[in-house]
Amino acid sequence: MLSRVLQNDLPVLIAGPTASGKSALGIEIAREFQGCIINADALQVYADWQILTARPIGDELAACPHFMYGHVGLAQDYSVGHWLREVSDQIAHARSNGLRPIILGGTGLYFMALTMGLTNIPDIPAEIRTEANALGAKYGLGIFADQLREGDPLTYSKIDILNPARTQRAWEVLRATGKGLAQWQDETPPPLLPLDQTVPLNLVSDKEWLNDRIDRRFDMMVDMGALDECRAVMNNGWDETLPSCQAIGAKELIAHINGDMDLDAAIELAKVQTRQYAKRQRTWFRSKMKNWQQVRRVDGKWEIS
C-alpha cells in the first residue's frame, strides 16, 4: 500500500511523465499528511505560461499551499542551479511552518540535482555561447564531439556524443573554464536531499492510457484559452530560442495564429509532440529512477507496483 511508505515525516518526491496524474497524487498526500507542493517542472516556473504547461489552477491551488509556480519572467535566466537554491529555501520554509514538503514535477534533472548534488559550474559567458552557436552553424553540431575527443578525452568518454546539446554544453564549459565537464562533475558537492532521506515516487502508467489523457488534455487546453495565452506571449517577447518558449504546443499554435497552419493540424501536431515528449520522459525515468518507488493508478487508487 502506498500509505504505508508515507508513514514518516520525510519529504515526498513525485516524478512522472506529463499528464500522468502527479498533481492529483500530490494533493491527496498533502491533504492527508499536512503537506505543501513545491514545483519541480522547468516550464511551470514561468509566469506567462499557465494553460499550456498545465500549471495548477483554481481548486488545485485552493486544496493546499503551492510554491515556485509562475514566478519567473519569460526572458529571465533560470537554470537548475537557480531552482536548487530556491527549493532549499522552500523546504526550510515548509518545515518551519509545520508542512511536509512534496516536491512534484516532470523535470528529471531537477530531481537528480536535488538527490545527487549539482555540479557547481560557473555561468557560461554570453560570448562563449555565441561562439559555440557560430561554430555549430559553420561546421555542424558534430564539431563539438570532435573537439572534445581531442581536448577533453575524459568528458568525451563519458558523455552521450550523439546528443548535440550536451556536447555543445561540454565544449562551452571547457572553453569558458579551462576545465572539463567530467572533472567538474567529479567535484560535485553533497546533495541537498539524499534519496534515502526522502519518499521517492515515480508514476508509471500504460502507454495507451497516458496517450489518451494527453490528447484529451490538449483539447481542454485549447478550450480553456491556449490560443489567447499564445497571443499574449507573442506580445510579451516570444522568442522560440528561449528556454521559456519550449512549452509543447506553443510553436504549433503560434504557427496557426500566424496563418501558417490549420488549427486542426496544429492541434494534432502538438499532441504528437506531447506524446513523444512523454515517451522520452518514461525512458529517462525508467533508466535513472530504478531505486524509486514505482507507483501506478489501479482501480482509482495509487498502489506501489
Annotated binding residues for substrate: 18-23
Q: Nearest CA to 102 among 199, 11, 196, 19?
A: 11
Contact 227, 250 (CB under 8 A): no
Write out the binding residues for ATP: 16-23
Which is nearest to 275 in space by CA: 18, 59, 1?
A: 18
- For 32, phi then psi, to 5°, come to -80, -30
Q: From the annotation, which residues make up the binding site?
A: 16-23
The DSSP symbol for 245 reads G
Listed in sequence order, the residues at least 6 apart from 224 whose beta carbon sits closer than 8 Å to its beta carbon are 51
Number of neighbours of residue 270 by Cβ within 10 angstroms: 26
The span from the CA of 188 to the CA of 84, in Å, is 14
Whether 282 and 106 have beta carbons less than 8 Å apart is answered as no
Residue at 143: amino acid letter: I
CA distance 134 to 152: 20
Distance from the Cα of residue 88 to its chain's centroid: 17
